[in-house]
Amino acid sequence: MTKKQFIISAALLTAATGALAQGNGAAGITDATSMVTSYFDPATKLIYAIGAVVGLIGGVKVYSKFSAGDPDTSKTAASWFGACIFLIVSATILRSFFL
């Protein structure tokens, strides 16, 4: 390959790369935004379901401690209740922040 052929092929390659890069960037960003926001409803429902399961498990643990006469029942109940509230509030705040 001569120097002239190398320069011509490099120029053609640069021109082709520039032509491919001149697409509509705004449309790509809009498509990406709509794809990401479409995941929020299922993710929010999943977090609510996880909060419900955590709440049920916490209720059973608190009930078993209360039935056994454990003096640390109120601390356990507060921690499980706080975990459930955190899951629900974090899902709601994330959804309202990003949508």
Q: Mind listing the pLDDT tens digit of every residue in the chain (99 residues)? A: 677 777 777 776 666 555 554 556 677 788 888 888 888 888 888 888 888 888 888 889 888 988 888 888 888 888 888 888 888 888 888 777 776
Query: Based on the domain organization, do 46 and 76 belong to the same domain?
Result: yes
Q: Which three-class secondary structure string do you get for the chain?
A: CCHHHHHHHHHHHHHHHHHHCCCCHHHHHHHHHHHHHCCHHHHHHHHHHHHHHHHHHHHHHHHHHHHHCCCCHHHHHHHHHHHHHHHHHHHHHHHHHHC
Global pTM reads 0.59
Query: Based on the domain organization, do 18 and 59 belong to the same domain?
Result: no
Query: Based on the domain organization, do 7 and 46 belong to the same domain?
Result: no
Query: Based on the domain organization, do 44 and 87 belong to the same domain?
Result: yes
Number of domains in the chain: 2
Which range marks the domain in which residue 69 is found?
A: 39-98
Between CA 26 and CA 28 the distance in angstroms is: 5
